[in-house]
Amino acid sequence: MQTRRLGRSGLTISEIAYGNWLTHGSQVEEDAAHACVRAALDVGITTFDTADVYAGTKAESVLGRALAGQRREGLEIFTKVYWPTGPGANDRGLSRKHIVESCNASLQRLQTDYVDLYQAHRYDSSVPLEETMTAFADLVRQGKVLYLGVSEWRAEEIAAAAELARELKVQLISNQPQYSMLWRVIEAEVVPTSEQEGLSQIVWSPLAQGVLTGKYLPGQQPPVDSRGGHATVGGSMKNYLTDDVLTRVQQLRPIADELGLSMAQLAVAWVLQNKNVAAAIIGASRPEQVHDNVKAAGVELPAEVMARIDEALGDVVERDPAKTSRG
């Protein structure tokens, strides 16, 4: 497993991170989730990403149990705060109250005294940024959080938060955006700003929710046991599951074959070619998926391969920076 530094900090993370957004506590049984975590540890993944809202807080609890007994100093555990985790008016957002209470609850579920990275899951325009950043800084000073990050923030929001972080003498070191061959909205504005401010990207959905594995075929219904075939989860994929996109994706298969890679490995390797990307988050419902995806670590794609990928995908790639995910 290759490692990279996260932002302009001393924190080293595995360039393949294990995430449990759509799996732990919902799509897969706990014993399967534990098997996937063990597989991740076995192949050298040390970075684990979750959030309080995943599976209604259950994902954090599953991950905490799965990592119990591991040497804490050898792990980088990341979680997030923002989305509602309860019925109350203060059970959401980036107020001081919600940040502090959510952090304490996450630490309990994760069975740890601190998290390595605490991330604002979205930007909260209803709360003064000073309140949010001061609450985060206080958690750092209390030793409950080591570093700070954001997720799906726009370039100007990242710049403003970075300035406050410097004033508060804490380290804002990462953004967690969606990024893949098909979704490149961070390239025009977020990446340049992040480079200037000392942040790296920890990217989610490098496989475009599984579309870039090539298992979804034009003119055919998604397999019933796939994410795309799932009644609720599959709805978030509808823009990818068009014949135009799926036909373009199939044109990546000969490129992957020539390189001796699976299509999933090619997709993960592609995001890691961006020097501002510190890690690609992979999810898994089976250990073999972990073993397959990690083979993308350390792969270097020549410039001509990158150009062929661009040509194959053509105009189905989304690049509009205004489409930073807010939902």
Residues designated as active site: 54
Please state, as a whole number, how many other Cβ atoms lie within 10 Å of the Cβ of residue 303.
8
Structure-token pair, residue 293:
């995806």
What's the full length of the chain, in residues?
Answer: 327
Sign of CA dihedral 158, 162, 168, 174: positive
Rounded CA separation 258/240 (Å): 25
Q: In this structure, what are the phi and psi dihedrals at residue 297, rounded to the nearest 5 degrees?
A: -65, 130
Name the helix (H) or strand (E) containing 155: helix 155-168
